[in-house]
Structure 1
Amino acid sequence: MVNDQTSRAASGNELWLKQYYFTRAAFSVLWVTAALTVGNHSFAVAAALLIIYPAWDAVANVVDAARSGGFAVNRSQTINVTASSIMTLAVIFALTMSMNWVLGAFGLWAIFSGLLQLGAAARRWKTSGGQWAMILSGGQSAVAGALFIFQAQMPQEPSISTVAGYAGVGAFYFLVSAIWLSVALSRRSMRGVEL
């Protein structure tokens, strides 16, 4: 009886994560599309998109933490909410300086949020499928952040396309995790029908 309840709770959490990862992937695809089209031709649109990206991450982490047991249980996400909120303000400030400043700020955030994402995925490893992709995503985010900081030191001004590439890779990993969870839930459902 206890195992059955635990199994149902795990399946419910995986169902939530599947929906969450699909939503994160869809948002990132839309963001990348807007960045590479309109954002490349309009500084105002690019600025708005660069502000929206970390703000969205903060909101998404608030919802995920709340749905996954609350902030006390999900400390890495709680810290990520704070980091993404601060980054939103930092991007607003950096936009008044230059795109190099913006890329440098995104670099710091990518390192920090990537490591926090890696921590959240490692914590979920035993209870939820698809976390290997989130671990890879977190690690690659940290590496990309270091590359952003290096690129921000270059004399040429970067464009929103640099961040769009980063967001595109993130969308891919969210999509892989969502599909992985979909397949796992489908297989589990099929086994339940056979029994």
Structure 2
Amino acid sequence: MQSRTSTLRNLYFARTFVQIVWAVLVIKGAFCPGVTAALLVLYPLWDVACTLFDLQSASEGRMILQANVALGVLTAISIGVTNGSHPTYAIASFGVWALAAGLLQLAVGLARRKQLGGQWAMILSGAQSTAAGVAFTLGGLSGKLHAKDLGGYAVFGAVYFLITALLLQRKLHQQPVESV
């Protein structure tokens, strides 16, 4: 259990860092459509990579994590296809992904809550991602949102990942060390 907790903690710290960097780049890159397009495709692919890493040691929520991988790949393709001709549709695709991924994250957080603890921030993050996804989808379809508007979403996600990583770190310090 300690190994799983440590693995998740490290993953969540990495996600925090990458999401902050992504948010800065997407906000700054809003003036360069090519960079912004690449960043929009990379975000769900980063989530896929993290989920695949998570799957290596996950015992809870495996089917949910697998669904998240498929969703992220399909989203990256959708964003890549729509971004050149209809950038607002790319935002809407990102929104649909955020909504669905938020629901999946909420489910995984609930599944992990009893086993690992320290998941309340992931549960809140899933709920917020779901709500943001609705807003991004509607904003993208109406042409009212732009890629730079997604930066705040990544920052909030990073904060939730950081909180969860710190909670897991605290749990690791409270547990006796496993014998090898």
* TM-score of the pair, normalised by structure 2: 0.92
Following superposition, the deviation at residue 149 of structure 1 comes to: 1.6
Q: Which string of whole-angstrom CA distances, capped at 9 and with x for unpartnered residues, describes residues 31-87 of structure 1?
A: 1111122x12211110110111011111111110112249xx611000000000000
Are residues 1:40 and 2:30 paired? yes
Amino acid at match of 2:35: V
For residues 109 and 86 of structure 1, what CA distance do their matches in structure 2 show?
9
For residues 77 and 143 of structure 1, what CA distance do their matches in structure 2 show?
20
Amino acid at match of 2:97: W
The structure having more radius of gyration, on CA atoms, is 1
Following superposition, the deviation at residue 13 of structure 1 comes to: 1.1
Are residues 1:56 and 2:46 paired? yes
**Contact kept? 1:111, 1:146, Cα under 8 Å:** yes
For structure 1, the residue ranges without an aligned partner over 5 or more in a row are 1-9
Are residues 1:29 and 2:33 paired? no
Alignment-derived partner of residue 66 in structure 1:
56
Amino acid at match of 1:65: L
Alignment-derived partner of residue 100 in structure 1:
88
Q: Which string of whole-angstrom CA distances, capped at 9 and with x for unpartnered residues, describes residues 113-148 of structure 1?
A: 111111111111111122111011011101001111
For residues 49 and 14 of structure 2, what CA distance do their matches in structure 1 show?
12
Following superposition, the deviation at residue 155 of structure 1 comes to: 4.2
Are residues 1:174 and 2:161 paired? yes
Amino acid at match of 2:58: S
**Contact kept? 2:106, 2:125, Cα under 8 Å:** yes
For residues 158 and 86 of structure 2, what CA distance do their matches in structure 1 show?
26
RMSD: 1.6
Question: Match of 1:182, SS?
Answer: helix
For residues 130 and 11 of structure 1, what CA distance do their matches in structure 2 show?
13
For structure 2, the residue ranges without an aligned partner over 5 or more in a row are none
Amino acid at match of 2:157: G
User: Among the aligned pairs, what percent are the same residue?
Assistant: 31
Distance 1:90 1:19, change over 3 A: same
For residues 133 and 19 of structure 1, what CA distance do their matches in structure 2 show?
16
Alignment-derived partner of residue 12 in structure 1:
3
**Contact kept? 2:27, 2:149, Cα under 8 Å:** no
Q: How many residues align?
A: 177
Alignment-derived partner of residue 140 in structure 2:
152
Find runs of 4+ consecutive structure 1 residues off by over 4 angstroms: none
* TM-score of the pair, normalised by structure 1: 0.85
Amino acid at match of 1:174: F
